[in-house]
Amino acid sequence: MKLPRDLSGAEVGNKQHNVTVPRHRDVRVGTLDGIVADVAEFLGLSKDEVRETLFE
């Protein structure tokens, strides 16, 4: 398969998403909710769908 030659750096870079997760002993509820919201937005899912996948 040939690689496409007409992609911009922004298009190539959009395939990865980094989320900062603090390594605290206890992560606060608001911080965790923000992380879940960020992941949900990136994946195009609801926060409930992300919570079910991660915590159930």
53 within a domain of the structure (yes/no): yes
pTM of the predicted model as reported, rounded to 2 decimal places: 0.69
19 within a domain of the structure (yes/no): no
5 within a domain of the structure (yes/no): no
12 within a domain of the structure (yes/no): no
Whether residue 34 contacts residue 9, with contact meaning beta carbons closer than 8 Å, is answered with: no
Give me the number of domains the chain comprises.
1
20 within a domain of the structure (yes/no): no
Mean pLDDT over 26-53 rounds to 92
pLDDT of 1 reads 66
14 within a domain of the structure (yes/no): no
Q: Structural domain of residue 44, as residue ranges?
A: 26-56
Whether residue 43 contacts residue 50, with contact meaning beta carbons closer than 8 Å, is answered with: yes
How far apart, in whole angstroms, are the C-alpha atoms of residue 19 and residue 41? 12
pLDDT of 5 reads 79
Place of tokens 């079910």: 52
